Structure 1
């Protein structure tokens, strides 16, 4: 987790030579709104629920507030899915910036793939890859060693590396007793290549080892006749050397603009989210979504890790 990253970094710097292995991908409360970041083959929730093929989105997350150097993440994203039979174009990209104490990264990514389908509005199997460039950075002037007056003699260390991700995603409109409902599932590896980043200074060197993250997701949109719907979803994440994390969520979109959601994870986090969805329900042809997410930790670290706030906005429309 992020706090482990800071602790491990401090230990590595203390011994001047070491390897840091920790989570480098940002966390999210509203996972479904960031599905295309975690899985390059995923389609946006606005397409599954409302058939809008183009989405622009932005998010800001402040994690574990009350702790100095707490993680802060900002992201901008764009998605497009084509129409037609056979294979439809799936494309988009995102920019992400993450800062945790003296360490951080900024990345810019594009994604491209295809949706194999007779009609992508009703079902499809998407396969896609992402590619980008990531800058990792360390500001060691902010890191104190054993002596509070002693800081490492380097600052603004940066390394640039390419990054590649891959994913598969399936969605299907159901029939029979669940006529009109939408099922989806996917698996992905957002960063395929493992990279060892070595930072050097006069006192020695230390390394940051980037590890693979594996994601799985499954969910269902159950629509009501009054234009509301419920969406249960399950997200699973695996990182080598860490326990498997499962995140169960439940969202209810009212017939009006309001939506609310809740959930919990096996790592001991409780989620709450709420927002407004302005589209057909208010006579608006396009779709504007504004959401807020809140996390509270009941993990072994205890409530002292602080709470988390996340803001999300997206705008989707037709071609």
Structure 2
């Protein structure tokens, strides 16, 4: 059992450092709340919006990634401005990463739509308990040193939208941080760039179809693209599909169970042949509370 667990830890450590160096946390339901990847989206629910998210990735693998997040954003009394806050904790194997981020946005009238410009900044708390990863007593000293470090994070984003169209470009983690332990680099954060474009297609007074595409570009990693489409029925039910080659296909569902409360669920089916040998699913749930605010906007 110990040997099996240790092999799993080493696999997850390799995946963790590769992933952290190349990609930040990817929520499946991001299209319902783009503020997680673009601070220019802060305040676009036009309400005080609070979202709690839990994600269990690669179920069935001991030490697989687990993520919890609390996301808040709201317009404020300053016309056309909004503020936001995120707390995200991610665990994989013996590593953990906690983000505490504050942000804000300001929008202007541009053509037939609005351009929202956002900034965010905060701290990342990175921890690695390497002493938990060893097989033999003689190898324990090799992993006796763990570390906990605080590093700054800064991001920016632009979000343009009209009644029928939206597009955004952002870099939520624009700094390149490195952590060294005894002269050895244990963690490297690359610059991240996101681009998204989507449309709101009204097919009837009750039904709307929303196709969108998300492109991720990370320094030193291949370009990745998500293809998404979902439909909404009278703003009560949202359901759709997301295709993230070569990793997964996701089923997305969100329902408004109260005028102010929404419940969401995403099921990711692993299509990667290597990872699919040990797991085939990821689960993600979200709860979103929105309270409409009466604020005057000037454009």
Shorter chain as denominator, the TM-score bin is: 0.7 to 0.9
Taking the TM superposition and a 5 Å limit, the aligned residue runs for 1:81-120 are 81-82=75-76, 88-117=80-109
**Structure 2 vs 1, CA of residues 248 and 153 (structure 1 numbering), >3 Å: closer, same or farther?**
closer
Contact 1:5 1:23 in 2 (8 A): no
Q: Does 2:118 align with 1:144?
A: no
Structure 1 stretches of at least 4 aligned residues deviating more than 6 Å after TM superposition: 2-5
SS of the aligned residue for 2:32 comes to: helix
Instruction: Give the structure 1 partner of residue 70 of structure 2.
Output: 76
Instruction: Give the structure 1 partner of residue 264 of structure 2.
Output: 291
Unmatched 5+ residue regions in structure 1?
11-18, 174-181
Instruction: Give the structure 2 partner of residue 157 of structure 1.
Output: 147
Instruction: Give the structure 1 partner of residue 193 of structure 2.
Output: 214
SS of the aligned residue for 2:80 comes to: strand
For the aligned residues, what is the CA RMSD?
A: 2.9
Deviation at residue 305 of structure 1 after TM alignment = 4.6
Q: Deviations over 1:4-24 (max 9, x none)?
A: 7722779xxxxxxxx997235
SS of the aligned residue for 1:317 comes to: strand
Contact 1:272 1:293 in 2 (8 A): yes
Deviation at residue 53 of structure 1 after TM alignment = 2.8
**Structure 2 vs 1, CA of residues 207 and 314 (structure 1 numbering), >3 Å: closer, same or farther?**
same
Instruction: Give the structure 1 partner of residue 161 of structure 2.
Output: 171
**Structure 2 vs 1, CA of residues 274 and 205 (structure 1 numbering), >3 Å: closer, same or farther?**
same
What is the TM-score normalised by the length of structure 1?
0.79
Deviation at residue 292 of structure 1 after TM alignment = 0.4
Q: Does 2:254 align with 1:275?
A: yes
Instruction: Give the structure 2 partner of residue 127 of structure 1.
Output: 117
**Structure 2 vs 1, CA of residues 20 and 316 (structure 1 numbering), >3 Å: closer, same or farther?**
closer
Instruction: Give the structure 2 partner of residue 309 of structure 1.
Output: 283
Deviation at residue 131 of structure 1 after TM alignment = 0.5
SS of the aligned residue for 1:150 comes to: helix
SS of the aligned residue for 1:6 comes to: helix
Instruction: Give the structure 2 partner of residue 36 of structure 1.
Output: 35
Deviation at residue 219 of structure 1 after TM alignment = 1.1
Deviation at residue 241 of structure 1 after TM alignment = 2.3
d(CA) in 2 for partners of 1:21 and 1:257? 36
Instruction: Give the structure 1 partner of residue 207 of structure 2.
Output: 228
Q: Does 2:218 align with 1:239?
A: yes
d(CA) in 2 for partners of 1:233 and 1:125? 18
Contact 2:48 2:291 in 1 (8 A): yes
2:60 to 63, 66, 77: 66
Q: Deviations over 1:256-286 (max 9, x none)?
A: 833321121222311101231246xxxx3xx
SS of the aligned residue for 1:41 comes to: helix
**Structure 2 vs 1, CA of residues 114 and 64 (structure 1 numbering), >3 Å: closer, same or farther?**
same
d(CA) in 1 for partners of 2:15 and 2:72? 34
d(CA) in 1 for partners of 2:175 and 2:219? 14
SS of the aligned residue for 1:292 comes to: strand
